[in-house]
Structure 1
Amino acid sequence: MTKSFKIELPKVPGNLQSGDFQDIYQEDEYYLSNCIISNAEVENVEIDKAVLSTVLFKNTTLINSRFEKVDMVDIIFENCDLSNACFREGIIHRVTFKNCKLMGVDFSLATLANVTFENCMANFTNFVEARLKQVFFNQTALQSSNYYNCEFKKIKLDNCELNKADFYQTSLKGIDISTCTYEVLNVTPESLDGCVVSADQAIGFSKLLGLQVKE
């Protein structure tokens, strides 16, 4: 839950049975549901239009794998490494990433709703032209992440590292970044309109707006 809106958490029951990631390979489709995947090591797979429903991934590696146009609902990733994974054009709903390594993950053109990133390492993530609604980034490293031409609605960033994040062509209206840290932020004055910042951040942005701050 955030201060301004509620996140619908994944509906993942506590009595799921253990499963095997290889179960995703069905005869005519890629489908995985109602199971726990633990300590699995999956690398360099390419699975288009997979459907993942009600799955808990724990201590699992899915690096360098492509899941384009994936449909994910009610999923928890806990202590997982998804570095350089691709979820391009995916539908990602009620999903939690907790204590995960998400370096370089591609969420471009994806739709994310009711998604939580908690204590994740997500530098160099790509959200280009993605749609994010009710998404909470909490204590997450997002350095050099790219949000070019994104659609934001009910987004919260709490104590995140945003150095060199790119928000060009994306409106930050109503978004509070006052608790976030950065040295450089790639943003235009138009994108900043209505953004909530701290007093120190406001001084830094004043230069972008062409203002001279008198000490």
Structure 2
Amino acid sequence: MVYVNFAMASIKNVLFKDTILRNSNFQENAIKNLVFKEADLTQTQFFKTKLSNIDLSDSTIDGIAISTEDIKGAIINEFQAIDLIGLLEVKIAKR
């Protein structure tokens, strides 16, 4: 699935396993028991959809568009943390 629009959907008890969701849109979603397992979320947009306690660590999130408020509390891996550091609007010193 590519370019899927989940805007304003109530998403409950859903497992996206080995699913391609590139360039998809999650907007103002009410989520409960949402699981991403090795999902491709490349360039997917999350807007007013809180991902607290959602495990993204084995999914691809390259180019994800999300606010700090929505990503807060999500579970990510160390490589994803590097990609998401830009959300903090900090500068990294070169040594």
Common fold: TM-score over 0.5: yes
- Could you tell me how far 1:214 is from its partner in structure 2? 5.0
Task: Give the alignment partner of residue 73 of structure 2, picking from 185, 189, 194.
Answer: 194
Residue 2 (structure 2) pairs with residue 123 (structure 1): yes
Letter in 2 for 1:190: E
* TM-score between the two structures when normalised by the length of structure 1: 0.42
Gaps spanning 5+ residues in structure 2: where? none
Whether the 8 Å CA contact 2:50–2:70 is kept in 1: the answer is yes
Q: 1:53-81 deviations in whole A, cap 9, x for unaligned?
A: xxxxxxxxxxxxxxxxxxxxxxxxxxxxx
User: What is aligned with 1:209?
Assistant: 88
DSSP-derived class of the 1:206 partner: helix
The question of whether the paired residues in 1 share the 8 Å contact of 2:62 and 2:83 is answered with no
Query: CA offsets per residue over residues 114-150 of structure 1, 9 Å max, x none?
Result: xxxxxxxx11111100011111000000001111111
The separation in 2 between residues aligned to 1:173 and 1:139, in whole angstroms, is: 21
Q: Which residue of 2 aligns with 1:9?
A: none
Q: TM-score, normalised by structure 2?
A: 0.91
Does the 8 Å contact 1:206/1:212 carry over to 2? no
**Correspondence 1:183 to 2:59:** no
Cα pair 1:206 1:213 within 8 Å, conserved? no
Runs of 4+ in 1 over 6 A off after TM superposition: none
Question: Within the alignment, does 1:132 sit opposite 2:6 as a pair?
Answer: no
Cα deviation digits, residues 70-127 of structure 1 (max 9, x gap): xxxxxxxxxxxxxxxxxxxxxxxxxxxxxxxxxxxxxxxxxxxxxxxxxxxx111111
Which structure has the higher relative contact order (CA within 8 Å, separation 6+)?
2
Q: 1:146 aligns with which of 20, 25, 40?
A: 25
Please report the RMSD computed on the Cα atoms of aligned residues, expressed in angstroms. 1.3
Q: Which amino acid aligns with 1:169?
A: K
> Against the structure 1 CA distance between its residues 196 and 214, is the aligned structure 2 distance closer, same or farther, given a 3 Å change threshold?
farther
Overall identity of the aligned pairs, in %: 28
Question: Partner letter of residue 179 of structure 1?
Answer: D
Classify the secondary structure of the residue corresponding to 2:47: coil
Alignment of 1:162 onto 2:41: yes
Q: How does 1:1-12 map to 2 (within 5 A)?
A: none
Question: How many residues of Structure 1 are paired with residues of Structure 2 in the alignment?
Answer: 94
Output the CA distance in 1 between the equivalents of 2:34 and 2:13. Answer: 6
Larger Rg: 1
Q: What is the CA-CA distance between 1:183 and the residue it aligns to?
A: 2.3
